[in-house]
Amino acid sequence: MKGRVPFDDAHADPRRALLVELFRAALAAVDGRRRVRAALAGGRSGGRASVFAAGKAAAAMTLGAADALGDRIARALVVGPEGSIPAELRALRGVDCREAGHPRPDERSLEAGRALVGFAEAARSDGRVLLLVSGGASALVELPAPGVGLAGLAGLYDRSLAERMDIESLNRERAALSRIKGGRLRELFEGCELEALLLSDVPRDDPAVLGSGIADGPGIARRLVGSLDDALDAVLRAAASQGLVAARGQGRLSGDARAAARRICHELAIGRADLLAFGGETTVELPPRPGRGGRCQHLAAAASQAIAGHPDYLVLAAGTDGRDGASEDAGAIVDGGTAGRAADAGIDPEAALAAGDSGALLEATGDLLHTGPTGTNVGDIVLALRRPPEEMSPR
């Protein structure tokens, strides 16, 4: 795939292959199927349950539930973003698989909400309901409050971009427009025993924020099955096994992506660690008609300017769900030569960043990272490596 860093094959630069390996370790640590299967292993031996799954990792989490519960799943409703539901899940009996709009809700999101009402009515006959929730559920499933239509829901998303709204503020406003968010999902399943397994991409792993509080509220037993901390801890373990001095970066990533890129590169330059691991979600102020790319690509492109001419430095920035913004790439890996390759391609990095077109820049420099669907979603990961080329030989 032109302009993209292979995810399954070693790159010519072994340092890039190392960063891909570390990112792979992060994904494996929070794999939705594995974490749900483990959470349900050894649980109650009998009884049927209905399963409602929503979010970017909904399909993988449902497969984990099927691995653990088998034919004890009476029915399932699974709602994920377009292209996220594999044939293996669609082939399971009694599973209603739906795709809906993300990150901008669409008519399919409302259809999924209506399907949820019918699902909840049927689920009352079994009594036990398993909720599998991961980041992205807010846009995918919606029952609007009276007087609120799709235009109002989509308008809120558009405004959140223009105002660079943080996730907590956005979810508060989403809850005000909804009949199921902010803990009100419980009302649909009146009389049912609810258990929620959560794969978190939000600060402090707060269930009131995850999915706009779609799994929050009284009467719901909640368990966290995976988080950003789990993914970053896996990176540090994998880095140590490679003989690297590795450390967590300071604080959770948030705010402007370019400012975050400068801070990350500065911390790498002044510290003693070979590798710094960061996590969180930044924001990007987009022009009226932006080009291609997402916040990870924007951060990576900005980092490439900060490390230009420094052959020892590399930065990986990628979304753990395998998609960065509206692009099909997870993010990018940049190095000290990225800015030079952009110049050779006739691209002005400053102009590309201003145009919100980091994806085109990074494709031209050969730095995009493509993973495909990952089966998880705990936020973005940034890995900053300081390693001279001569210290690593090709594998």
In tens digits, the chain (395 residues) has pLDDT values of 456 765 655 447 999 999 999 999 999 999 999 999 999 997 665 679 999 999 999 999 999 999 999 999 999 999 999 999 999 999 999 999 999 998 889 999 999 999 999 999 999 887 899 999 998 888 899 988 888 888 888 888 788 777 777 777 777 788 788 888 877 888 889 889 999 999 999 888 887 777 767 777 777 899 999 999 999 999 999 999 999 999 999 899 999 999 999 999 999 999 999 999 999 999 998 888 999 999 999 999 999 999 999 999 999 999 999 999 878 999 999 999 999 999 999 999 999 999 999 999 999 999 999 999 999 999 999 999 999 987 775 44
Cβ neighbours of residue 163 closer than 8 Å, sequence gap 6 or more: none
Cα–Cα distance list, 330 to 20, 235, 297, 342 (Å): 12, 17, 8, 20
- Mutual orientation of helices 150-162 and 107-123 as an angle, nearest 10°? 120
pLDDT at residue number 326: 79
Asked if 65 and 380 count as a contact pair (C-beta separation under 8 A), the reply is no
Pairing between strand 331-335 and 313-319? antiparallel
Handedness of CA 355, 262, 372, 159 (dihedral sign): negative
Q: What are phi and psi of 352, to 5 degrees?
A: -65, -40
Architecture of domain 4-28+229-391: 3-Layer(aba) Sandwich (3.40)
Locate the DSSP E strands across 281-322: 313-319
- pLDDT reported for residue 128: 92
**pLDDT number for residue 393:** 54
Interacting residues of 11 by C-beta distance below 8 A, sequence separation 6+: 5, 17, 20
What pLDDT is recorded for position 111?
96
Q: State residue 10's pLDDT score.
A: 42
Residue 271 Cα to chain centre, angstroms: 28
pLDDT at 186: 85
Cβ proximity of 268 and 237 under 8 Å: no
CATH 3.40.640.10 fits 31-226, yes or no: no
Please tell me the predicted confidence (pLDDT) of residue 163: 76
Q: Which residues pair with 79 in a beta bridge?
A: 54, 98
To the nearest 10°, the Cα dihedral for 73, 79, 82, 85? -10
Closest CA to 288 of 361, 363, 354, 358: 354
Whether the CB-CB separation of 379 and 280 falls below 8 Å is answered with yes
Please tell me the predicted confidence (pLDDT) of residue 394: 47
The strand ranges marked E within 188-228 are 193-199, 220-226
* Contact status, residue 216 vs residue 178, Cβ threshold 8 Å: no
Q: Which two tokens stand for residue 125?
A: 């006959």
Residue intervals in the chain for CATH 3.40.1480.10: 4-28+229-391
Long-range Cβ contact pairs of 68-76 (< 8 A, separation 24 or more): 68/36, 68/37, 68/40, 68/41, 68/43, 69/40, 72/46, 72/47, 72/48, 73/48, 73/49, 74/48, 74/49, 74/50, 74/123, 74/126, 75/50, 75/51, 75/119, 75/122, 75/123, 76/50, 76/51, 76/52
So what's the pLDDT on residue 183?
77
Q: Locate tokens 């699974």: which residue?
A: 78
Helices (H) and strands (E) in the chain, counts: 14, 13
- Bridge partners, 86 (sequence order): none
CATH 3.40.50.10180 domain span(s) along the chain: 31-226
